[in-house]
């Protein structure tokens, strides 16, 4: 029998006891011979399979067989092969039976390789590792010791754990050398015991306690420990580990004399990227300022880093220290003043004031360097600091001030959309239409299909096949994160058109038929494999979203309108296809399109016309009116004239009532005239988007798992919410009138308009955020109704619950920035609520909308202030979000904006309660600063009265005095 | 080609402290070393504190990853250094290949001798980095890249080997980023205050939307709102990598790419310059952008590489015309030579000097050439005869390329290139052309 056969026999028959004598007999060549068989057997025995009758999945081997393979591998393999088949053989118990007679050359490298792994294997502990080192099987590696030593002060048996710091005394070398490795190599000393519960001891700080214990007992050199812990905190380790080392330093409570000796290390620690390390070092250094050994030059070198710190305490501390140093060292005052200027980067009045006072005290107005430095920072200063530093002014006009970026001018920068001119353009449009590269691709595709419907030759259809394939894939594949329901709707429209082509020109459209067949088969296969599978293929006609939301109806109606014309081979364009970005239809184009319908004597689609009017851009009115005179007659001429500024009115005989409604709304929003609301069944407040709303604290029940009862229980709790009350959607009609309407002949029901369909319906947001832009572009001049829905859904829990609802709000903000309309109640509520949102991107967008709205006179800044004031009455969100936003994005934009900001702040304070909320001081500071800049005073009596009440709060006294004296 | 790269260092890099003079020794290794060059540079650093801060920032870039790939994160890739022409440049990429960083120690930043010029990997190990963290201001530090005296190396000392899976993305990104740099122009220059103000406007967390650098109320700021001419930055949080340098910076310059596909941020601190380039978004590494693809449509003759190698030395400005004249190359054929040479790892780009410089990546050319799957796919399409030119007029080419289940239409019309495939439909050419367009172009050219 060969070696391999012997081994296989031994393995198959579970003869574990015979393994070691067998392996001991093998020479080098025989071991090598066994390797291929070992690899093969390992593969066979380690393969997982389902155990008959049980249903659980497990490998083929028994425990004994696994050991046999593992041990044989340890003896025969090289390191690489062993690593690939190592299964539980590396442990003290097993290796004690092998190492005395055989230790592979690679064993030391193998064990030490764990130093570079992200994890420490459970079998490797300090005791055993040291035994291996002591028996010369393994060469000692500091990095690995640093990794395994932290676990050495706990002994664990099953779930019992015991704190045994005395383990560190077992070997002399442990405290003498090994303990220091922890400070040089990355280890888990900071989190080793996170998951262990010790009955008699708090698990926090076990290692810190251990260090303290042995330094107190003089078993660890305290001086060295202080030095290395400080150094380790700045060793480029991760944040928590660095933080742990500085914590150890603090807990060791260094004396002033000790700190003095560690000055240099403390200075270096100021370089650390971790704030805890920097802040702690700065604190210790500050305490040394009065000492004569204090290294002044070194401090001045590092002061810049401290003054730019995010922590206000650190900056204030540094300024205090600089003040002391300037007092003590007159020769360095100039340098100190220049350094102190760094504090001006903080948009914080008290810090700026402190720095300015220091400069005023020690700086010379004749020193050029100082004047130049102050000059650089001047634009960033608050008025108080500015006033103090007036003597240092060269000429307070910043010549290098940066050129401003203008906001896109919505009227001037209007960009024309290119409609496909030839079939090739159409092909490339079709293949990207379902990606929403542009929102208007949704409109462009059906328009292009209509335009090229008469060019569907076999060759051209072939060119469209990649687009058809994309459409099929969009419908049948899994949803992706950028897809909206509208993309699915558009894809279904396109494949429906494909089927129409198969009917019209079976020969030319054969590839489409084949493709349909392929995808139908794929869908059938999926259905056969998965009983719950819902077949996804289907046309545009039965399309619906699972929520059955009405919000998607207008888009569907327009696509059905296009499909209707394709079915009948009607060669007319859609009216609502945008001609200019992002959604506008130029008046000239609309007149041209309408004239085609008039000429053909075809009634346009109801929804298509409504959306076209809603999107109509009345630019170049004179030219457009001239064209309307030439090309339109009757009702079309009348309402286009109205759109373009003429004083026309809807007559009873007119057929397109909803088109008149859209034109009327577009023109008079947000205060829609009663004349127009008579053209709809919607109530006037609803049409105006004038909904009631409130931000309030609501009682509710929170579900919490009760471990004793082993079930979820309802816990009463409170939550802060915003709710919009939509009121009555439809006009109230008396029963008598309703009956009369039914009985009287010729009474036509009012057609539903886009606004009847406006809705955002979901319990959990799925893909609606990817549609929101396109939904908003249905009503670009009166988005308030949809915004009310967005507020109710997007701010359901004030702070976002997930990424999708955040995106819903961000995409809405993005869309609003591209529109020019007068803000109604809901638009103000939306923007104001976004200003205190938990997401900075959302807040910044809201600020940009405010900047744009103020510049163009489209919004009421005071109304924004009132809403935020109402929200903050119940502290709906931390006020800091809002004050930070003002400083960063809304302050000092222009004179006009400063004036609007003043109104905003005044009305915000007006709405607050008698008890000042957290963060009020900062708000009032900003208000005072804005008043100072505007050379203005508090405009509302109620605000003065409120401030008088607030004045009883000690911390607000000073700022309120300042406010009252403003102007 | 092996899928593992083995760094072999004679000893570890180390920061050796002594009473009078500290030494930063950087161990080096190159796969393509032409001759035995034990030491590239040996001399004093004039501003060791700044150099140390910049190298630490570089190591932070190299260790960072901005998309989730824990497996890749575990592998440290060593930065490369190019020494020569009075400059020392350290370069590296984040794991995700979306952030490029370079430290340039310019002429005044060092006082020493360039014993050899060339490019090499350098060992960046944890103990050395820890020591770097503690370099003080006004300290005397000697830098040596490679060992000056072989004697220092003890005979029985073990070669330090670190095997890592071939960092395909990393190497590919090194060849691609130069294209983006060469198409970038300076737009803003900020002083320290403005730079610090600007960085204060970076939102916390990982913003998922694009941000735009714009000027409002006389202050630079980042805003999610696009305005005219604002600079687009995707994955803005990545910029925080250079935040620690700002407190000591003299100036920050911003160089956006012509079509906003990347932004480059250069921090100037005395004679040291730190460059950070961000890709278009966190999930888009420079490696996958296909920037160099078009340059590789034509084969690069082997003798060119040799010629350029002979003609240039490290960090030397690269002048294509001069090369053509001196080496008697046909200028027609040299068209776009810079693009082609940087795509195979022979050139870097210096934004301040506005020129390419020679630096040969320390990886085998065969490795670099094997890194462009899209080009390989295009070649496969040609090989399988799946590309058919339908019509060819003076300025317009229409072709059919067989895809899976359909025939894609490719139209090249002047500068406009279009395809009906999903890749093109989604990206509209922003991330380099698709394999179908590449195949058609290759067919036409060859």
Give the model confidence (pLDDT) of A313-331 as tens digits: 889 999 999 999 999 999 9
Length of chain A: 967
Average pLDDT, chain A: 88
d(CA B260, CA A957): 51
For residue A512, give the chain B residue with the closest CA.
Answer: B406
A409-429 pLDDT tens trace: 545 568 899 999 999 999 999
Beta bridge partners of A775: none
For the domain that residue B138 is a member of, what is the CATH number? 3.70.10.10
What average pLDDT does the segment B286-291 reach? 73
Which chain B residues contact residue A186 at CB under 8 A?
126
d(CA A400, CA A613): 48
Could you tell me if B181 and B309 lie in one domain? no
Q: Are strands A585-586 and A616-617 parallel, antiparallel or unpaired?
A: parallel
Could you tell me if B356 and B419 lie in one domain? no
Could you tell me if B78 and B218 lie in one domain? yes
Could you tell me if B213 and B184 lie in one domain? yes
Question: Structure tokens of A38?
Answer: 């070992």
Q: Model confidence at B263, in pLDDT bands (50, 70, 90)?
A: very high
Q: Model confidence at A741, in pLDDT bands (50, 70, 90)?
A: low
For residue B52, give the chain A residue with the closest CA.
Answer: A271
A407 and B CB contact within 8 Å: yes
Q: Which of B127, B409, B418 is closest, CB to CB, to A184?
A: B127
Q: What pLDDT, on the 0 to 100 scale, is given for residue B297?
A: 65
CB B129 within 8 A of CB A236: yes
CB A804 within 8 A of CB A765: yes
Could you tell me if B328 and B383 lie in one domain? no
CB contact under 8 A, A380 and B428: no
A470 and B CB contact within 8 Å: yes
Q: Where is pLDDT greater, at B314 or A639? A: A639
CB atoms closer than 10 angstroms to residue A386: 19
Could you tell me if B96 and B211 lie in one domain? yes
Strand blocks (E) in A159-232: 160-163
Could you tell me if B314 and B271 lie in one domain? no
Beta bridge partners of B90: B81, B103
Q: What pLDDT, on the 0 to 100 scale, is given for residue A601?
A: 93
| HSE toward the beta carbon, residue B70, CA cutoff 13 A | 2
Residue A404, pLDDT > 60, answer: no
At A872 the three-state DSSP class reads helix
Q: What pLDDT, on the 0 to 100 scale, is given for residue B82?
A: 87
Q: What pLDDT, on the 0 to 100 scale, is given for residue A186?
A: 83
Looking at chain B from residue 63 to 102, which residues have their Cβ under 8 Å from any Cβ of chain A?
Answer: 74
Task: Name the minimum distance, in Å, from the CA of A196 to any CA of chain B.
Answer: 27
Average pLDDT, chain B: 80
Residue whose entry in the numeric block shows the structure tokens 């020679």: B358
Q: Which of B59, B247, B422 is closest, CB to CB, to A308?
A: B247
Task: Name the minimum distance, in Å, from the CA of B144 to any CA of chain A.
Answer: 22
The three-state (H, E, C) secondary structure of chain B, written as one string: CCCEEEEEECCCCEEECCCCCEEEEECEECCCCCCCCCEEEEEEECCHHHHHHHHHHHHHHHHCCCCCCHHHHCCCCCCEEEEECCEEEEEEECCCCCEEEEEEECHHHEEEEECCCEEEEECCCHHHHHHHHCCCCCCCEEEEEECCCHHHCCCCCCCEEEEEECCHHHHHHHHHHHHHHHCECCCEEEEHHHHHHHHHCCCCCCCCCCEEEEEECCEEEEECCCCCCCEEECCHHHHHHHHHHHCCCCEEEEEEECCCCEEEEEEEECCEEEEEEEECECCECHHHCCCCCHHHCCCCCHHHHHHHHHHCCCCCECCHHHHHHHHCCCCCCCCCHHHHHHHCCCEEEECCCCEEEECCCCCCHHHHHCCCHHHHHHHHHHHCCCEEEEEECCCEEEEEEECCCCEEEEEEECCEEEECCHHHHHHCCCCCCCHHHHHHHHHHHC
Q: Are strands B188-191 and A57-59 parallel, antiparallel or unpaired?
A: unpaired
CB contact under 8 A, A405 and B214: yes
Residue A647, pLDDT > 80, answer: yes
Q: Where is pLDDT greater, at A762 or A740? A: A762
d(CA A107, CA A439): 63
Q: Where is pLDDT greater, at A113 or B277? A: B277
What average pLDDT does the segment A916-920 reach? 92
CB A338 within 8 A of CB A301: no
Q: What pLDDT, on the 0 to 100 scale, is given for residue A14?
A: 78
Q: What pLDDT, on the 0 to 100 scale, is given for residue A749?
A: 66
A301 and B CB contact within 8 Å: yes
Q: What pLDDT, on the 0 to 100 scale, is given for residue A203?
A: 60
Residue A269, pLDDT > 80, answer: yes
CB A450 within 8 A of CB A566: yes
CB B100 within 8 A of CB B277: yes
Number of domains in chain B: 3
At A259 the three-state DSSP class reads helix
Q: Are strands B118-122 and B28-29 parallel, antiparallel or unpaired?
A: antiparallel
For the domain that residue B331 is a member of, what is the CATH number? 1.10.10
What average pLDDT does the segment A493-515 reach? 95
Of B264, B287, B310, the domain-final residue: B287
Could you tell me if B266 and B336 lie in one domain? no
CB B361 within 8 A of CB B174: yes
d(CA A836, CA A879): 7
d(CA B116, CA A939): 75
CB A682 within 8 A of CB A755: yes
Residue A56, pLDDT > 60, answer: yes
Question: Structure tokens of A835?
Answer: 């200003």
CB contact under 8 A, A432 and B428: yes
% of chain A beyond a pLDDT of 90:
52
Residue to substitute from B51, B190, B193, B216, interface A, most A β-carbons within 10 A: B216
Question: Structure tokens of A80?
Answer: 């690489």
Instruction: Write phi, then psi, for A375 (nearest 5 degrees).
Output: -55, -45
Instruction: Write phi, then psi, for A63 (nearest 5 degrees).
Output: -60, -40
Q: Which of A298, A462, A840 is closest, CB to CB, to B407?
A: A462
| A263 sits in which H/E element | helix A263-269
Residue B186, pLDDT > 50, answer: yes
Q: Which of B126, B224, B246 is closest, CB to CB, to A844?
A: B224
Question: Structure tokens of A955?
Answer: 């911390």
CA proximity to A281, closest of A233, A221, A211: A233
For residue A435, give the chain B residue with the closest CA.
Answer: B426
Q: Which 8-state DSSP code applies to residue A401?
A: P
Q: What pLDDT, on the 0 to 100 scale, is given for residue B148?
A: 52
Task: Name the minimum distance, in Å, from the CA of A351 to any CA of chain B.
Answer: 15
CB B345 within 8 A of CB B365: yes
Q: Model confidence at B43, in pLDDT bands (50, 70, 90)?
A: confident
Task: Name the minimum distance, in Å, from the CA of B419 to any CA of chain A.
Answer: 7
For residue B242, give the chain A residue with the closest CA.
Answer: A273
CB atoms closer than 10 angstroms to residue A473: 14
Residue B151, pLDDT > 50, answer: no
Q: Model confidence at B158, in pLDDT bands (50, 70, 90)?
A: very low
The parent domain of residue B435 ranges over 373-445
Of B330, B351, B369, the domain-final residue: B369
CB contact under 8 A, A380 and B193: yes
Looking at chain B from residue 419 to 438, which residues have their Cβ under 8 Å from any Cβ of chain A?
Answer: 420-422, 424-426, 428
Could you tell me if B92 and B155 lie in one domain? yes
What average pLDDT does the segment A941-950 reach? 94
Residue B25, pLDDT > 90, answer: no
For residue B207, give the chain A residue with the closest CA.
Answer: A841
Q: What pLDDT, on the 0 to 100 scale, is given for residue A514?
A: 95
d(CA A864, CA A911): 11
- A·B CB contacts under 8 A: 153
d(CA B206, CA A567): 50
Question: Structure tokens of A397?
Answer: 């006009």
Task: Name the minimum distance, in Å, from the CA of B190 to any CA of chain A.
Answer: 9
Most confident of B95-104, B114-123, B223-232: B95-104
CB contact under 8 A, A463 and B420: yes
Which chain B residues contact residue A404 at CB under 8 A?
215-218
Please give the ipTM for the structure prediction.
0.78
Q: Where is pLDDT greater, at B337 or B332? A: B337
Could you tell me if B168 and B50 lie in one domain? yes
Residue A399, pLDDT > 60, answer: no
Q: Which 8-state DSSP code applies to residue A682?
A: B
d(CA B136, CA A430): 63
Could you tell me if B254 and B214 lie in one domain? yes
Q: Model confidence at B24, in pLDDT bands (50, 70, 90)?
A: confident
Residue B314, pLDDT > 70, answer: no
Residue A450, pLDDT > 80, answer: yes
% of chain B beyond a pLDDT of 70:
77
Task: Name the minimum distance, in Å, from the CA of A341 to any CA of chain B.
Answer: 10
Q: What pLDDT, on the 0 to 100 scale, is given for residue B154?
A: 34
Q: Which of A234, A465, A894 is closest, CB to CB, to B407?
A: A465
CA angle B49–B51–B57, rounded 5-degree value: 105
d(CA B20, CA B17): 9
Worst-scoring range by mean pLDDT, A760-774, B72-86, B102-116, B222-236?
A: B72-86
Residue A735, pLDDT > 80, answer: no
A94 phi-psi bin (left φ>0, alpha ψ -120 to 50, beta other): alpha
A837-863 pLDDT tens trace: 999 889 999 999 999 999 999 999 999
Could you tell me if B331 and B401 lie in one domain? no
Q: Are strands B251-256 and B262-269 parallel, antiparallel or unpaired?
A: antiparallel
d(CA A201, CA B279): 51
| A49 sits in which H/E element | strand A48-50
User: Roughly what angle, to the nearest 10 degrees, separates helices A784-794 and A825-835?
Assistant: 30
Handedness of CA A159, A160, A164, A170 (dihedral sign): negative
What average pLDDT does the segment A540-555 reach? 94
Q: Model confidence at A220, in pLDDT bands (50, 70, 90)?
A: very high
Q: What pLDDT, on the 0 to 100 scale, is given for residue B150?
A: 40
Of B313, B335, B369, the domain-final residue: B369
Task: Name the minimum distance, in Å, from the CA of B428 to any CA of chain A.
Answer: 9
d(CA A353, CA A372): 19
For residue B240, give the chain A residue with the closest CA.
Answer: A273
At A692 the three-state DSSP class reads strand
Distance (Å) of CA A536 to CA A465, A593, A824, A833: 20, 36, 41, 39
Q: Model confidence at B153, in pLDDT bands (50, 70, 90)?
A: very low
């Amino acid at each position: 029998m060969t070696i391999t056969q012997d081994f296989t026999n031994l393995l198959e028959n579970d003869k574990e006891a015979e393994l070691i004598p067998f392996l001991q007999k093998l020479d080098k060549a025989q071991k090598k011979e066994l390797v291929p068989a070992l690899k093969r057997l390992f593969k066979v025995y380690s393969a997982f399979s389902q155990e008959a009758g049980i249903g659980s999945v497990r490998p083929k081997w028994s425990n004994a067989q696994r050991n046999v393979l593992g041990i044989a591998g340890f003896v025969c393999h090289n390191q690489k092969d062993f690593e690939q088949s190592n299964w539980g053989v590396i442990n003290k118990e097993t290796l004690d039976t092998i190492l005395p007679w055989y230790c592979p050359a690679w064993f030391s490298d193998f064990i030490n390789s764990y130093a570079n792994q992200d994890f420490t294997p459970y079998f490797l502990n300090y005791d055993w590792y040291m035994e291996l080192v002591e028996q010369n099987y393994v060469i000692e590696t500091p990095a690995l010791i640093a990794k395994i030593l932290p676990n050495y002060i706990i002994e664990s048996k099953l779930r019992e754990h015991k704190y045994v710091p005395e383990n560190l005394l077992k070997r002399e070398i442990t405290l003498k050398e090994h303990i220091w490795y922890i400070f040089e190599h990355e280890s888990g000393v900071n989190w080793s015991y996170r998951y262990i519960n010790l009955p008699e001891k708090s698990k926090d700080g076990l290692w810190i306690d251990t260090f303290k214990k042995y330094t107190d007992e003089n078993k660890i050199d305290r001086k060295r420990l202080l030095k290395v812990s400080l150094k380790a905190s700045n060793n480029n380790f991760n944040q928590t580990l660095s933080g742990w080392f500085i914590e150890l330093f603090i807990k060791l409570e260094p004396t002033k004399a000790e700190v003095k000796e560690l000055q240099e290390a403390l200075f270096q620690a100021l370089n650390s990227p971790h704030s805890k390390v920097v802040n702690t070092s700065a604190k210790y250094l500050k305490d040394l300022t009065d000492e004569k050994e204090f290294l002044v030059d070194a401090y001045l070198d590092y002061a810049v880093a401290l003054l730019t710190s995010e922590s206000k305490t650190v900056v204030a501390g540094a300024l205090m220290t600089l003040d002391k140093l300037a007092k003590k060292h007159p020769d360095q005052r100039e340098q100190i003043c220049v350094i102190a200027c760094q504090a001006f980067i903080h948009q914080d009045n008290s810090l700026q004031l402190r720095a300015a006072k220091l400069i005023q005290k020690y700086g010379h107005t004749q020193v050029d360097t100082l004047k130049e430095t102050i000059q650089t920072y001047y634009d960033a200063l608050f008025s108080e600091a500015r006033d103090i530093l007036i003597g240092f002014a060269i000429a307070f006009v910043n010549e290098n001030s940066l050129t401003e970026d203008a906001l896109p001018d919505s009227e001037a920068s209007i960009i024309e959309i290119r409609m496909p001119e030839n079939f090739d353009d159409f092909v490339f449009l079709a293949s990207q239409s379902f990606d929403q590269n542009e929102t208007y691709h949704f409109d462009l595709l059906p328009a292009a299909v209509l335009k090229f419907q008469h060019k569907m030759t076999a060759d051209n259809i072939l060119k469209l096949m990649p687009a058809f394939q994309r459409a099929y894939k969009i419908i049948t594949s899994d949803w992706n994160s950028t897809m909206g329901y509208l993309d699915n709707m558009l894809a279904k429209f396109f494949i429906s058109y494909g089927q129409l082509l198969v009917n019209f020109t079976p020969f030319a459209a054969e590839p489409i038929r084949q493709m349909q067949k392929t995808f139908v088969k794929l869908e059938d296969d999926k259905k056969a494999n998965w009983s719950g599978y819902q077949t996804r293929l289907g046309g545009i006609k039965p399309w619906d979203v699972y929520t059955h939301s009405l919000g998607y109806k207008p888009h569907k109606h327009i696509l059905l309108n296009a499909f209707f014309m394709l079915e009948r081979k009607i060669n007319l364009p859609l009216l609502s296809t945008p001609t200019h970005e992002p959604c506008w239809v130029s008046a000239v184009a609309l007149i041209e399109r309408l004239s085609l319908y008039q000429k053909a004597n075809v009634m346009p689609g109801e929804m298509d016309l409504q959306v076209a009017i809603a999107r109509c851009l009345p630019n170049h009115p004179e030219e457009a009116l001239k064209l309307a005179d030439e090309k339109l007659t009757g009702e079309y001429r009348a309402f286009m004239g109205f759109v373009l500024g003429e004083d026309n009115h809807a007559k009873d005989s007119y057929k397109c009532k909803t088109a008149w409604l859209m034109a009327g709304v577009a023109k008079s929003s947000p205060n829609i005239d009663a004349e127009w609301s008579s053209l709809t069944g919607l109530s006037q407040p609803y049409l105006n988007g004038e909904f009631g709303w409130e931000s309030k604290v609501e009682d509710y029940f929170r579900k919490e798992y009760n471990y004793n009862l082993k079930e979820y229980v309802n816990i009463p709790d409170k939550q802060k919410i915003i709710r919009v009350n939509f009121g009555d959607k439809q006009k109230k009609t008396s029963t008598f009138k309703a009956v009369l309407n039914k009985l009287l002949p010729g009474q036509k029901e009012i057609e539903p308009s886009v606004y009847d369909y406006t809705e955002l319906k979901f319990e959990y947001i799925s893909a609606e955020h990817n549609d929101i832009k396109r939904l908003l572009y249905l009503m670009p001049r009166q988005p308030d109704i949809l915004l009310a829905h967005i507020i109710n859904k997007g701010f359901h829990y004030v702070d976002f619950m997930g990424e999708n609802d955040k995106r819903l709000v961000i995409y809405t903000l993005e869309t609003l920035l591209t529109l020019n309309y007068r803000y109604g109640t809901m638009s103000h509520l939306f923007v104001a609520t976004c200003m205190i949102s938990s997401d900075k991107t959302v807040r910044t967008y809201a600020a940009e909308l405010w900047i744009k709205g103020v510049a163009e006179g489209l919004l009421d800044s005071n109304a924004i202030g009132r809403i935020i004031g109402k929200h903050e009455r119940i502290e709906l969100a931390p006020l800091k979000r809002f004050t930070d936003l003002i400083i960063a994005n809304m302050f000092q934009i222009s004179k006009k904006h400063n004036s609007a900001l003043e109104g905003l702040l005044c009305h915000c304070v007006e709405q607050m309660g008698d008890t000042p909320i957290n963060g009020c001081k900062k708000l009032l500071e900003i208000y005072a600063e804005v008043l100072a800049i505007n050379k203005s005073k508090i405009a509302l009596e109620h605000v003065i009265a409120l401030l008088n009440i607030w004045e009883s709060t000690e911390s607000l006294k000073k700022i309120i005095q300042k406010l009252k004296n403003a102007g | 080609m092996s899928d593992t790269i083995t760094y072999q260092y004679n000893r570890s890099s180390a920061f050796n402290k002594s009473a009078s003079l500290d030494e930063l020794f950087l161990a080096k290794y190159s796969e393509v070393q032409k001759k035995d060059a034990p030491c590239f540079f040996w001399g004093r650093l004039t501003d060791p504190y700044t150099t140390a801060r910049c190298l630490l920032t570089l190591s932070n870039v190299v260790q960072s990853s901005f998309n989730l790939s824990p497996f890749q994160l575990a592998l440290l890739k060593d930065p490369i250094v190019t020494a020569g022409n009075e400059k020392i440049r350290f370069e590296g990429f984040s794991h995700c290949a979306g952030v490029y960083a370079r430290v340039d120690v310019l002429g005044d930043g060092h006082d020493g001798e360039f014993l050899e010029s060339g490019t090499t990997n350098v060992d960046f190990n944890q103990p050395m980095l820890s020591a770097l963290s503690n370099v003080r201001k006004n300290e005397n530090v000697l830098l040596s890249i490679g060992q000056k005296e072989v004697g220092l190396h003890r005979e029985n000392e073990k070669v330090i080997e670190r095997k890592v899976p071939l960092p395909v993305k990393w190497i590919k990104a090194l060849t691609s980023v130069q294209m983006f740099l060469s198409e970038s122009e300076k737009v803003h220059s900020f002083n320290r205050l403005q730079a610090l103000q600007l960085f204060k406007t970076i939102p916390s967390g990982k913003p998922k939307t694009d941000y735009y650098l714009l000027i409002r109320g006389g202050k630079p700021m980042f805003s999610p709102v696009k305005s005219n001419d604002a600079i687009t930055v995707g994955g803005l949080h990545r910029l925080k990598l250079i935040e620690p340098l700002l407190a000591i910076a003299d100036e920050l310059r911003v160089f956006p790419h012509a079509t906003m596909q990347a932004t480059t941020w250069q921090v100037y601190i005395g004679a040291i310059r730190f460059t950070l380039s961000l890709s278009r978004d966190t999930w888009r590494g420079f490696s996958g952008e296909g920037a160099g693809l078009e340059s590789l449509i034509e084969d690069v003759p082997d003798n060119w590489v040799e010629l350029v190698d002979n003609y240039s030395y490290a960090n030397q400005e690269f002048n294509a015309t001069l090369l053509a004249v001196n080496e008697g190359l046909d200028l027609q054929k040299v068209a776009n030579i810079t693009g082609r040479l940087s795509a195979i790892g022979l050139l870097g780009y210096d934004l301040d000097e506005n020129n390419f410089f020679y630096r040969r990546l320390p990886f085998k050319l065969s490795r670099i050439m094997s890194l462009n799957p899209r080009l390989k796919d295009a070649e496969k399409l040609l090989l399988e005869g799946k590309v058919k030119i339908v019509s060819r007029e003076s300025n317009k080419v229409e072709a059919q390329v067989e895809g899976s289940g359909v025939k894609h239409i490719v139209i090249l019309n002047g500068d406009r290139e279009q395809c009906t495939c999903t890749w093109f439909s989604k990206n509209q050419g922003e991330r380099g052309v698709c394999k179908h367009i590449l195949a058609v172009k290759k067919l036409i050219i060859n």
